[in-house]
Amino acid sequence: METFLIKAAQLIAAFALLVIIHEFGHYIFARMFGIKVEKFYLFFDPWFSLFKYKPKKKSTKTDPNGEERATWRDTEYGIGWLPLGGYVKIAGMIDESMDKEQLAQEPKSWEFRSKPAYQRLLVMVAGVLMNFILAIIIYAGIAWYWGEKYIPLDKAYEGMDYAEAAQEIGFRNGDIPLFANGEKLEVAKGNYLLEMAEAKTVTVLRNHKDTIDIAIPENFILRLNDEERFLTYRLPVYIGDIVNGEPAKEAG
């Protein structure tokens, strides 16, 4: 039961983040164009809300044309009890609230319907735009934290282990490949193995001091075993910890 509640809370929290980002897009673009936002709610609030806040002090701003502009103090902020979405109630626009009475009155300068078409379009698509930006940020964060990590070839101090076919033409375990046909090999490209297999000459660093040129026979790539990689990194082994009282500890 505890696991279920934790998962449910995680789902609601993730959903709430998406809703807030989406609705904030509509809200911030409406504010940018001086449109009055009457409500900004996370989740729906039929009959009652769990929390709401409305600034008491009103403030009025005017644009360069002398027309009244809406401010953040015009908005009621709240949290509904029905976690099926959220909404911003924009003056002069029929939305989830289905408030048609306001549209029966004369348009005000701070209403949605009084603004130019391009501003109304931006307000309507802003929610999707914000979700798109959020997706880019999330995936960029994933790539940055968990993305592919590699060791540059010239930093692989233990060198490489080579396939038997590679050793037959002159490679030795421990060699560090540096160049193919005189061009530096880059792991980041992803095709450095193909470049080596199709090159005429591969330059390696042997024993951390000798530079050796190895001639690659024509069609060498066909001699490589499909189940065996051309080369693999040799990974050094480090002892991280030793248990007290055990033979390894006593042996030093």
- Among 88, 106, 233, 216, smallest CA distance to 157 is for 233
Confirm whether 111 is domain-assigned: yes
Around 111, how many Cα atoms within 13 Å sit in the side-chain half-sphere?
13
CA atoms within 13 A on the CB side of 175: 20
Helix axes 117-146, 2-32, angle to 10 degrees: 140
Tell me the residue type at 209: K
**Per annotation, catalytic residue among 23, 76, 96, 227:** 23
What range defines the domain where residue 191 resides? 153-233
| Same domain as 213, residue 189 | yes
pTM score above 0.85? no
Domain membership of residue 192 (yes or no) is: yes
- Residue 228 is a catalytic residue: no
Confidence band of 76 (pLDDT split at 50, 70, 90): confident
24 lies in the same domain as 119? yes
Q: Does 163 fall in a domain?
A: yes
Total domains in the chain come to 2
Neighbours of 110 (CB within 10 A): 24
* Any domain includes 105: yes
Q: 112 and 185 in one domain?
A: no
Q: 158-174 pLDDT, tens per residue?
A: 899 998 889 989 999 99
pLDDT digits (tens, 9 = 90+) for 195-244: 898 899 999 999 988 899 999 998 888 888 766 788 888 888 888 888 88
Residue 240 lies in a domain: no
Of the two residues 129 and 245, the one the predictor is more confident about is 129
Q: Please say if the pLDDT value at position 58 is more than 70.
A: no
Nearest to 121 by CA among 35, 250, 200, 205: 35
| 70 pLDDT higher than 70 | no
Residue 1: what pLDDT? 75
Question: Are the CB atoms for 250 and 244 separated by under 8 Å?
Answer: no
